[in-house]
Structure 1
Amino acid sequence: MSEPKERFRVLLRMRIRPGMESDFEKTWLRVGDAVTADPANRGQWLMASQDEPGVYYIVSDWTDEAGFRTFERSAEHVEHRKRLHPYRIDGSMVTSRIVYHLEPAHAGEDT
C-alpha cells in the first residue's frame, strides 16, 4: 500500500443515443488527444458498461484539481465536448482525490 503523489480523478458517465455507440467510440478515440495532450493529464480510459446498454464511463487522472479545472475551461475542452455532444443523451461527472493505491501482489504482470 502506498500513498500516491497528489492525483485527481474524474469519472464521467455518458448515456449514448441508441445505434450511435460505435461512432461515439471512434470519435472519442479520435479526439482523445485534446485531453491527453494537456500537461496536467495523466491518462484516460473509456469503458462500456456491461450492465447498462449504451452507457459509457470515462476515467481521467490529473496531477491535481487545479490542473483539471484549467483544462475544463480551455478552448480545447470546449472543442472536444462539441465533437462528442451529438452522441450523448445525458451525462454526469464525479470528481475525487486518490487516497491510497494498492499494487497487485503479482507485480510485473499486466493488470
Structure 2
Amino acid sequence: MADQVFRVMLRMEIRPGMEKDFERTWREVGASVTDHPANLGQWLSRSAEENGVYYIVSDWTDEPRFRAFETSERHVRHREKLHPYRTGGSMTTMHVVAALAGAAGGGT
C-alpha cells in the first residue's frame, strides 16, 4: 500500500501568541479533512526548532482524489478557519515509496 499513498506536508507559520488557539481550531476542523473518503489520516506537529512553526501531514489514497479535495468547497471552508492564525507557509507533496515500522511501532 505504501507505493499508493500520496502525502501532503504543510508548513505553517503562526502569529505569535496564537499557537494554542491555532491548535484548538485545527482539532475542531480536522474532521473536515479526515471525513473525506480518500483521506488516510492527518497529523499536527509543532517544530522543535522554530517558534510558531507547525507541520501538518496528511495521507491520501491517491493524488487525483487529493487534488479534487483541495479545490472543493469543503477545503475552502477548512482553510478559512485556519487562515487568521497564519503569517506564511508552504505545501510539499510526495508519493510514499516505502515504509518501515520501527521496533517500538509493533511492525512485523
Specify which of 24, 27, 30 is matched with residue 26 of structure 1. Answer: 24
Deviation at 1:4, TM superposition (A): 2.1
SS of equivalent to 1:46: strand
- What is the identity percentage for the equivalent residue pairs of Structure 1 and Structure 2? 60
Task: Return the letter of the residue paired with 2:50.
Answer: E
Task: Return the letter of the residue paired with 2:94.
Answer: S
Name whichever structure is richer in helix by fraction: 2
**For this pair of structures, how many residues does the alignment match?**
107
CA RMSD of aligned residues (A): 1.4
1:13-69 Cα distance to aligned partner (Å, 9 max, x none): 000000000000000000000000000000000000010000000000000000100
Q: How does 1:53-92 map to 2 (within 5 A)?
A: 53-92=51-90
Task: Give 1:4's aligned residue.
Answer: 2
Unpaired segments ≥5 residues, structure 2: none
TM-score (norm 1): 0.91
Deviation at 1:79, TM superposition (A): 0.1
TM-score (norm 2): 0.94
Unpaired segments ≥5 residues, structure 1: none
**Segment drifting more, 3-12 vs 85-94:** 3-12
Q: Which 4+ runs in 1 deviate beyond 6 A?
A: none
Task: Return the letter of the residue paired with 2:92.
Answer: V
- Is this contact kept in 1: 2:14–2:54, CA < 8 A? yes
